[in-house]
Structure 1
Amino acid sequence: MKIAAIGVEGRGETDRLISQAAAELEKRGLRLSGIAKVLQELPDGSHQCDMDVRVFPGTGTIRITQSLGQGSTGCRLNPAAIAEAVSSVEESIGSDKADLFVLNKFGPEEAEGRGFRAAIATALEQDVPVLVGLSGGAANKAAFAEFSAGLAEQLPADVDAVVEWCLAAQKV
């Protein structure tokens, strides 16, 4: 089982690192499954938490957040959009042999046993290495440690090191 996690201090930095590593891995010919945040400048008036993700394989994107209106403080994740992304990824895992499974963030959905948790497990069962972003609260990190049974390697906050681990995981 090959699974690694990366967590970078600073808002959005884990997403940036995962997205950059995924782009470099694709350039090198790896077939990816999973999702990574689309790095983009948000137009004026956008909420800083608006998030589009790219669904691998392919170039399709899904907005996984929703607008809750001015002054809202509730969770902005859109459960229907998350379910759509999960469905697309699970479908690709079953139909195509990926070289690497990428998840931008093991978040609250995964911590609660939903989201991409089953897709991660399927990838690992098929001997597909997994790269997971970890950011946010201690609860998500603790849930990931429990899920991965403490077997996940912690990678440094360096895109070259992440790419190196992913390439090496292919050779095992």
Structure 2
Amino acid sequence: MKIGIVSAEGRGETDRLISETAAALVAAGARLSGIVKVLDEVQPEDSHHCDMSVRVLPTERTIKITQTLGGESLGCRLNPTAIVEAVAAVASSAADDTELFVLNKFGPEEADGRGFRDAIANALERDVPVLVGVTPATRAAFDTFTAGMAETLPTETAEILHWCRAAMNKTDRQGA
């Protein structure tokens, strides 16, 4: 089982590292499945910078996974229906020749036993390595889910790329 964790400090840093790594790997010809955060999304002024869309790999399809709850709301902005849609899109777009499964974040849905947990498990069962972002808030649930077998990666794109190439047994992808 090959599973690498990215857990960087700073708002959006883990998303940036995961997205940049995935983009570099795709540019080098790697076959990925999963989701990455859309980084160039313009945030409306009343969004509190919490609106989020994800890109389904290997396609260019994007899905907005947050919902507008109003300025006074304190509830979770994740849209459970959109998460289900994203999970289904990932499942339908995953190919048999996938070399790496990427998930921008093991979040609250996954910590509660939903979301992309089955997709992660399916990838690992097929011997496809997994790269996943994990926050301190969900780390304990993630460690329980993976039985502590994941490797925490350095928070530098070059090091993450090196791990991914090695995990995919594609050390010849030096362009990535």
TM-score by length of 2: 0.92
CA separation of 1:108/1:29 partners in 2, compared to 1, >3 Å: closer, same or farther? same
Matched, 1:86 2:77: no
Gaps of 5+ in 2: 171-176
Q: Give SS of 1:171's match.
A: coil
Gaps of 5+ in 1: none
* Residues 43/88 of structure 1: CA separation in 2 closer, same or farther (3 Å cut): closer
- Deviation of residue 113 (structure 1)? 0.6
| TM-score under structure 1 length normalisation | 0.94
CA distance in 2, matches of 1:143, 1:66: 25
Superposed displacement of residue 92, structure 1: 2.5
Structure 2 counterpart of 1:107: 107
Question: 1:144-163, CA deviations, whole angstroms, 9 ceiling, x for partnerless residues?
Answer: 00111111010000001001
> Given residue 53 of structure 1, which amino acid in structure 2 is its aligned partner?
V
Q: Does 1:134 align with 2:134?
A: yes
Identity of aligned residues (%): 59
Deviation at 1:72, TM superposition (A): 1.1
Match in the other structure for 1:123: 123
* Cα RMSD for the two superposed structures: 1.3
Give 1:83's aligned amino acid: V
The Cα offsets for residues 18-70 of structure 1, whole Å up to 9 and x where unpaired, read as 00101001011111110000001524425101001000111000000000012
State the SS of the aligned residue for 1:21. Answer: helix
* Residue number among 154, 164, 171 corresponding to 2:152 in the alignment: 154
Aligned to 1:171: 169
> Would the aligned equivalents of 2:66 and 2:77 in 1 still touch at CA under 8 Å?
yes
Q: Name whichever of 32-41 and 57-66 sits farther off.
A: 32-41
Q: Which residue of 2 aligns with 1:56?
A: 57
Compared CA separation, residues 46 and 167, structure 1 to 2 (3 A): farther
Partner of 2:19: 19
Q: Distance in 1 between matches of 2:96 and 2:124?
A: 14
Deviations 1:98-124 (A, max 9, x none): 110000000110001100000000000
Describe the SS at the equivalent of 2:4.
Answer: strand
